[in-house]
Chains A and B, each alone.
Chain A
């Protein structure tokens, strides 16, 4: 084996520098001299990995899930008049709840009771029967142990809308967009921005 000698040839270091490193070095040294802290370089790399072959198998798993979709639950296949009947039942439920609340004597319950009094029965029935969000409404009721105050407020808010003004029944209208907007509003309020959210778009 040949003996190592520094005289043989010029040995290069194994080190490389990042692209444009020296172009920016002067500026960075100046900043450091001025006491500015060097910013951490944020990469767009995400720390998330997936199991092996995940994306190869995913389409197959989705198609399998689609082919095994359960038949829609009863209320999702109802005709308009059946919806109207369901809406009547719901309104009755709300009014029974109202009476129950009225018997209790706490200020919160009285407040809820008063709110219920202000809702026009017929309009509420129509709202639920013709509302594109009706599945969500019924899902919410199924999930909830009691009719929440928020739910009542939500209904009250929407009963102010005339039925003919309700959006067309398509996918976008089935999405509870108001949730998105409410939450965005909160966030932008925190940022001190006012009145920035647009009206519902027409995607």
Chain B
């Protein structure tokens, strides 16, 4: 790969000299890889400098993850290591995240372009995200990914490149080839197709900071349990408090739908569900009237959409269905955890 003849210039920089990108996603959608590709494209293909990394912890597939890219002019040193708090481009890979994670924290009108992977229009996206204002991008990355045989991250990269305004096509292509081209050469066409469509099809619209929604400054997490009030040694006393978490953001489009009429209450679903979503109660069997354990339904707060239960059920009582076609509040059955 030849070096870009003129080291790139950035259209806009923050006070430390960086153009910053933050991707909000869940494990498994490829945001981390996208960040790395963008970084490599900038450094190797465009004579810029920069850093690419992700938020790391014990993330598993489906749990929230952030990927960061910092870009600066060649010769400028990258000395900060902390997460991107006020990005120039904020790309939300997974719409449902906005329900549980402050994905738009740090977005500033006039500075940040917010891109959402969605079927909504820019105006609808703005409403959905409750954005103070600024440039909003909307792209149906899921649909384009499926159509091109690629993945959401490739489409989002195209949209991010468009929003940034300085990424060079050849640099991106070379970086993608470097990441996957050798191992999966057959996928290159689809990947580049997805990248191009993301770039071409993302729509932007500008919204003034009209006071409709408040500003969303970035807040650094401050633990509620600290050195004054946390039980010593790190012991946790509230047994089972993970049940307060909402795991619905781990789903990527499909849910199991419970058809009560087909259920024989065999209990196999309760064996196969890793997330213990099935709500059973002692009562009268709807068919026989006899006393016994009765399945009331699924608590979708915990369902990650693995669909194991749909594969196990021999009676078509659990059927894979598109989440978007369901009223989740209506069909969810809550556990009675406390008396």
- Bind each other: no
